[in-house]
Amino acid sequence: MLVNTAPKASRAARTKLDARAIADAAERLAAPSAVVAGVMELIDGHAPVRAIAARVAQSPEVSVHVLRLANSALFGEPADTLDRAIVRIGERQLRGLLLAASTYRLLEAEMPLYNSPRLALLKHSTDVAQAAQSICSLMDPSHAPQAYLGGLMHDLGKAILAELTRDGDYPSVKNVADERTLFGTDHARVATWIAKRWGLGDDICEAMQLHHEPSVPMNTVARAVWLADTLVHAGLGDGAAIARLPAAAAACGVDSTHLEGLLTGNGGGGGAAGESEPTSTPATLTDREMQVLRLLATGSAAKQVAAQLGCSVSTVHNHLHHVYRKLNVTGQTQALLMAREMGWV
């Protein structure tokens, strides 16, 4: 249940939104995609793994995360097909991963409410997921998959609040206190409400709810996500996160040297196989195609990319069509997502 704690006068003066409106919008905006809904139906119907894998393959975003989780060091030998990855992950983790994947379209959007550029929140969520998995593997490897899912979804509430206010005249918010003043709730509560509606485990719900709390959570999964969020912010140069990181690590019983390794890409043991040295470029893409992809990943438009490369806009689009075909994706968003996930950009 979303709790509305803002003063009534403030709510009336600054926004027409209330807890019920936010809850309704959250449920509508976070509805599973057609692919995810289809896979869930197959799982519920006890369909063969091959049929489930074929449906998952229709979404590059979902496929990337399924393979990443299955190929993490947690599971030992790598899984080279979606069939094997799905068997390895198991039904509970797969359900959570599918529901998280259905939110990508929200996480990848530009968010004026938070002064956040396009793809920024998706990248942050992915970074926290990977760090949470690695941290949890140091504390209790059996819970690391849940930590990955909790990290992937921990800021879902931001995406929902940002989408809900996209067409209104709302001031930007910088922290949880600003959210509570403006909406009477905050992104952690919104995300937790959705997670409970989806029937995700208490450990994941607690991770989403407590990741901004000042004290360390007791739950192992919540603790890993809590520390991972601080770690990722510290890695971006956030002064407050850098200052509290040593005490946060000590509170979680994690050696600070392990965290330093995670920041530099050389630590852990719970990340995806080969994550410390990501592939710099896929063998199927040409150098010029990679140049186009990398420039787009910085936020440049096709016209700007053309100017930087000294070619026409139509040439840039031709390169992109080749990229889409080679990566088996349907557009720029999916291509950039896959490139980021695979460490190419």
CATH number of 116-277: 1.10.3210.10
Structure tokens that stand for 333 in this block: 């968003």
Distance separating alpha carbons of residues 335 and 323, to the nearest angstrom: 8
What three-state secondary structure class fits 211? coil
Nearest Cα neighbor of 340 from 272, 293, 300 is 293
pLDDT tens sequence for the chain (345 residues): 444 444 444 433 444 567 777 878 777 877 777 888 888 888 888 888 889 888 888 877 778 778 877 776 555 566 677 888 888 788 777 887 787 777 777 888 889 999 999 889 988 998 898 899 889 888 888 888 889 889 988 999 999 999 888 877 888 999 999 999 888 899 999 999 888 888 888 999 999 999 999 999 999 999 999 999 999 998 888 888 889 899 999 999 888 777 766 765 544 444 433 343 344 455 467 878 888 888 888 878 888 888 888 888 888 888 888 888 777 666 777 777 777 766 677
Q: Is the dihedral of CA 61, 64, 69, 72 positive or negative?
A: negative
Q: Determine the Cα angle at 292 with ends 271 and 109, to 5°.
A: 60
Reported pTM:
0.67
Identity of the residue numbered 344: W
Distance separating alpha carbons of residues 82 and 50, to the nearest angstrom: 8
Domain boundaries, the chain: 116-277, 287-341
Class for domain 287-341, per CATH?
A: mainly alpha
Residues in the chain: 345
| 136 secondary structure, DSSP code | H
Cβ atoms of 151 and 225 within 8 Å: the answer is yes
Q: Determine the Cα angle at 305 with ends 300 and 309, to 5°.
A: 150
Radius of gyration of the chain (CA): 20
Residue 209's CB: how many other CB atoms inside 10 A? Answer: 23
